[in-house]
Structure 1
Amino acid sequence: MDFDSVVHGRRSIRGYKPDPIPKEVLKEIIEVATRAPSSMNTQPWHLHVISGEPLDRIRKGNTERNLAGIPSSREFRVEKGYEGVHRERQVKVAIQLFEAMGIERHDKQKRQDWVLRGFRQFDAPVSVIVAYDKELEGDIRHFDLGAVTYGLALAAWSRGIGSVINSQGIMQSPVVREHANIPDNHVIQTSVAMGYPDFDFPANAVVSTRRPVDEVATFVGFDD
């Protein structure tokens, strides 16, 4: 696929086939993703690629602790809830997903099941835990990590592999650290669930909308 087709075709995948992703394919994806721009070439990213029993233990521990009411221990700063137009966009995509999945507003059981899927990283066969060097706290690391994470999503999609960037799956960071063997000098930023898409899963048909260019960008010094 050409680049524009990859970008426009990619969407967040929340339902996966159980098929494993070959390790060599994951290495290819990471090699491409780590060509992302990096401030001063610092390359602060660390990618912990988890599958099999260790990932099952992370799913189980994250879910059990969240259901037990243990407060989130995500290691990056969590801002207050979205408001205004940002909240409207968040709600809009949630409505799209719930409509695709047939989840009614009053159906507490189905809504709870959806939340639990997030805690389990949507049962994807692979999870990439994205972390950064602790000594770079307060630096421009978030720009670099966002770039490499988008690179993962695009490189995976170009190989027929879906993904969804998912912070629900790392809410209980002690569980993630233990079973992913993440060293103390790495700070967990987010996770990327990854696998071959199950296109019979209704939510996978959802494509979120984007603002038009004229709303996003302003142009100065150009002839109309």
Structure 2
Amino acid sequence: MDFEELVNTRRSVRGFKSEPVPRSVIEEIIKVAKRAPSSMNTQPWHLHVLTGEPLERVRQRNMEEMLAGAKPKRDIVSHGEYQGVHRKRQVDIAKQLFAVMGIARDDKPMRQDWVLRGFRQFDAPVSLVLTYDRILDPGATCHFDLGALCYGIVLAAWNRGLGSVINGQGITRSDIVREVASIPEDQVIMTCVAMGYPDDSFPANAVTSDREANHDFVRYVGFRD
């Protein structure tokens, strides 16, 4: 796919077919994504790719813990609830998703079910857990590097007909992910990417989020035109 077409058509996928994703395809995706830039070529990332029974255990335990009222236990520091314009953008996309899914504002069971889908990593057949070496904490620089890797993953996946969504809810209980996937203690769990073949009959998959106009967030300094 042409690069600009790839970037402009990619969207977050939240409904997947049960069809398994071949390991060879995931290998191809990672081979492309690892060309992402990193600070001084440190390549601080690790990937733990889950599928099948281990992934089912992660999503089931994650969902059960959150249903029981357990507090999040992430390795990285959370920013808390969004405020201001960031909250507005969050609400705007939620309204779009709830509208196409037929979830009414006062329908608490359906709204909770949607949240639980996130904790289950949207029932995707594959989850890629992104970690970095704990020795690099506080990790602002390597967070940036893993963001570049993550974007490379979702683009390379889309180019191969695979959908994905970057899914922080999936590692809300990082301790569970670490235990099931045997992730070493010297690695920090940052986020995960839910991945699989898109289910085109799932309404939310048709939603594309808006982007602000350039003039709302870009300044040009020193240009004559």
Q: 1:1-60, CA deviations, whole angstroms, 9 ceiling, x for partnerless residues?
A: 011011001000000001111101000100111111100111111010000000000011
Q: 1:77-97, CA deviations, whole angstroms, 9 ceiling, x for partnerless residues?
A: 001211111111110000010
- 1:155 maps onto 2:179 in alignment: no
Q: 1:64-115, CA deviations, whole angstroms, 9 ceiling, x for partnerless residues?
A: 1111111110110001211111111110000010001010000011101101
Task: State the shift of 1:173 in Å.
Answer: 1.4
Task: Structure 1: state its 5+ residue gaps.
Answer: none
**C-alpha distance in structure 1 between counterparts of 2:199 and 2:119, whole Å:** 19
- 1:112 maps onto 2:112 in alignment: yes
Task: Structure 2: state its 5+ residue gaps.
Answer: none
SS of corresponding position for 2:47 = strand
**C-alpha distance in structure 1 between counterparts of 2:153 and 2:167, whole Å:** 13
Partner of 2:44: 44
Aligned ranges 1:113-192 → 2 under 5 Å: 113-139=113-139, 140-192=141-193
AA aligned opposite 1:57: R
SS of corresponding position for 1:73 = coil
Task: State the shift of 1:216 in Å.
Answer: 2.2
Task: State the shift of 1:196 in Å.
Answer: 0.4
> What is the RMSD computed on CA atoms of the aligned residues?
0.8
Partner of 2:195: 194
**C-alpha distance in structure 2 between counterparts of 1:107 and 1:81, whole Å:** 22
Q: 1:177-222, CA deviations, whole angstroms, 9 ceiling, x for partnerless residues?
A: 1111111111100010000000110000000000112222111222
Q: 1:100-140, CA deviations, whole angstroms, 9 ceiling, x for partnerless residues?
A: 10100000111011011001000000000010000000141
AA aligned opposite 2:162: I
**C-alpha distance in structure 2 between counterparts of 1:141 and 1:96, whole Å:** 33
**C-alpha distance in structure 1 between counterparts of 2:223 and 2:71, whole Å:** 51
Q: 1:140-184, CA deviations, whole angstroms, 9 ceiling, x for partnerless residues?
A: 111101110011100100000000001111111121111111111
Partner of 1:28: 28
Q: 4+ residue runs of structure 1 moved beyond 4 angstroms?
A: none
% identical aligned pairs: 60
SS of corresponding position for 1:21 = coil
SS of corresponding position for 1:129 = strand
Partner of 1:15: 15
Equivalent residues, number = 224
**C-alpha distance in structure 1 between counterparts of 2:67 and 2:82, whole Å:** 24
- 1:203 maps onto 2:209 in alignment: no
AA aligned opposite 1:93: I
**C-alpha distance in structure 2 between counterparts of 1:138 and 1:175, whole Å:** 22
